[in-house]
């Protein structure tokens, strides 16, 4: 199970307050704060269902150690030989959750003396075209040794967002925005955890809208 947490949320939501109020057919401002909170909750729920960050946001992934691969004591002389080193390359990769990766901010670790160190970006390569994104040591290098006795001794800080920052770039599919609006409507008109009314799933509802964009994690 991956151990990661959100550090900085997105600067903007995929759905505006005006759009949500139009969906709800609300013309007064008394419930603006409630609706805004519902938009954020709906977006967060969609991201969990998608296993994907919608707009750019910062996460920290915590690991107990690096992935050292099959031959930890051997520094490969030439990892460009795909027949010989492709399996090693893959086994050493650090995989990042919540695609798509925008950038890696830093990789820090506790060395054998318990001192925090920051990896030089030149010592690793980032594959941000794959999902999940992968980070591997540069040619002729391997991951440094960490303090095994301290859980979470390796931390990767990264920015992820599949559809831009929402301000200068917004490529969020309309299907995802519509799913958020459906959830906002549900939250607004169903304000308790239990109801005596008979409820049913809307055909072609939230799950159907999100399915084309879901990321299925594998390890």
Residue-range domain boundaries for the chain: 3-55+165-213, 57-160
pLDDT at 190: 84
Pick among 3.40.50.720, 1.10.1370.30, 3.40.50.300, 1.10.3230.30: CATH of 3-55+165-213: 1.10.3230.30
pLDDT at 73: 42
Q: Could you tell me the pTM of the whole model?
A: 0.87
- Tokens found for residue 192: 């308790």
Q: Are 90 and 218 in contact (CB under 8 A)?
A: no
pLDDT at 217: 77
Q: Extract the runs of DSSP E, i.e. beta strands, from 9-139.
A: 57-63, 94-96, 101-110, 116-118, 124-127, 133-137
Alpha helices in the chain (DSSP H): 17-24, 32-50, 82-91, 174-189, 206-210
Tens of each residue's pLDDT in the chain, 219 residues: 689 999 999 999 999 999 999 999 999 999 999 999 999 999 999 999 999 999 999 999 999 999 887 654 445 554 555 555 566 677 889 999 999 999 999 999 999 999 999 999 999 999 999 999 999 998 888 899 998 788 999 999 999 999 999 999 999 999 999 999 999 999 999 877 766 666 666 656 899 999 999 999 764
pLDDT at 140: 80
pLDDT at 148: 78
């Amino acid at each position: 199970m991956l151990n990661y947490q959100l550090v900085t949320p997105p600067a903007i939501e995929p759905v505006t307050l005006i759009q949500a109020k139009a969906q709800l057919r609300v013309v007064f401002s008394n419930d603006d704060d409630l609706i805004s909170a519902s938009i954020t909750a709906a977006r967060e729920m969609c991201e969990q269902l998608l296993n994907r960050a919608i707009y750019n946001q910062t996460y920290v992934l915590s690991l107990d150690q690096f992935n050292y691969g099959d031959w930890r004591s051997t520094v490969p002389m030439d990892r460009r030989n795909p027949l010989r080193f492709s399996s090693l390359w893959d086994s050493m990769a650090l995989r990042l959750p919540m695609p798509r990766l925008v950038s890696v901010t830093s990789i820090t670790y506790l060395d054998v003396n318990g001192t925090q160190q920051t990896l030089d970006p030149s010592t690793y390569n980032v594959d941000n075209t794959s999902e999940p994104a992968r980070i591997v040591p540069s040619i002729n290098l391997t991951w440094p040794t960490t303090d095994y006795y301290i859980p979470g001794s390796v931390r990767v800080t990264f920015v992820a967002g599949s559809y831009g920052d929402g301000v200068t770039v917004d490529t969020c599919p309309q299907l995802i925005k519509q799913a958020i609006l459906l959830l906002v409507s549900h939250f607004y008109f169903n304000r308790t955890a239990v109801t005596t009314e008979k409820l049913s799933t809307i055909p072609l509802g939230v799950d159907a809208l999100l399915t084309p964009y879901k990321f299925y994690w594998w390890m």
